[in-house]
Amino acid sequence: GQNIDQPTEMTATEGAIVQINCTYQTSGFNGLFWYQQHAGEAPTFLSYNVLDGLEEKGRFSSFLSRSKGYSYLLLKELQMKDSASYLCAVRDTGGFKTIFGAGTRLFVKA
Amino acid sequence: GAVVSQHPSWVICKSGTSVKIECRSLDFQATTMFWYRQFPKQSLMLMATSNEGSKATYEQGVEKDKFLINHASLTLSTLTVTSAHPEDSSFYICSARPLDLPNTGELFFGEGSRLTVL
């Protein structure tokens, strides 16, 4: 079956660092994605991992361990505008079907 | 590049009517588009994979006769919610993966269509 788990909510302080974890169990694996979604809007792409290790892009970094079925998204120097839902998604092999986790709602407080 | 446009952004209809939602890739071709549904405070649930020139592939539990999908060209897919009922009220989002643009395989999403059935 397909199962993607991530915390429901997290709260962090402006300027701090926050790590959002994601574990997955899927029948196939062809990459893991992180998307950001503000309320009432479509998701926007943040990062992509297909090999083990850390990918860094500005204030955002994403890590993947395929053997553990584990990923995390690291957000540095948090800003108020980072308050949003962060969706972990796994792409299946063949057909490029992408399955989403329930999302983590991040609240950044002053 | 890689812009996906969805129309309408929001629609209110009476129970029993049908509603059509369009998804267009504006600056790229997409042989495959995906339709998702999202209820409040929940994640995106994949409804179906839309393939240009062939029948859509529906996920388990999604009624293909209720959610009609047509992918008539490389830049347009439509979702028709037939005989809509209040429980169909949701945020419907389409996405596409461009095949002729360099990318890591991420999905590009339309703006979403919020359907309210009275």
- A87 in contact with B, Cβ within 8 Å: yes
Distance between CA atoms of residues A5 and A23, nearest Å: 5
Question: How far B18 CA sits from the closest chain A CA (Å)?
Answer: 23
Q: Closest partner residue to A96 among B93, B105, B109, by Cβ?
A: B105
pLDDT digits (tens, 9 = 90+) for B82-116: 999 999 999 999 998 877 666 677 888 999 999 99
Question: How far A45 CA sits from the closest chain B CA (Å)?
Answer: 7
Residue B5, judged by CB atoms within 10 A of its CB (0-12, 13-18, 19+), counts as: middle
Distance between CA atoms of residues A47 and B34, nearest Å: 19
Q: What residue ranges of chain B have pLDDT lower than 70?
A: 1, 100-103
Q: What are the chain B neighbours of A99 within 8 Å (beta carbons)?
A: 46
Distance between CA atoms of residues B49 and A94, nearest Å: 12
Question: How far A41 CA sits from the closest chain B CA (Å)?
Answer: 6
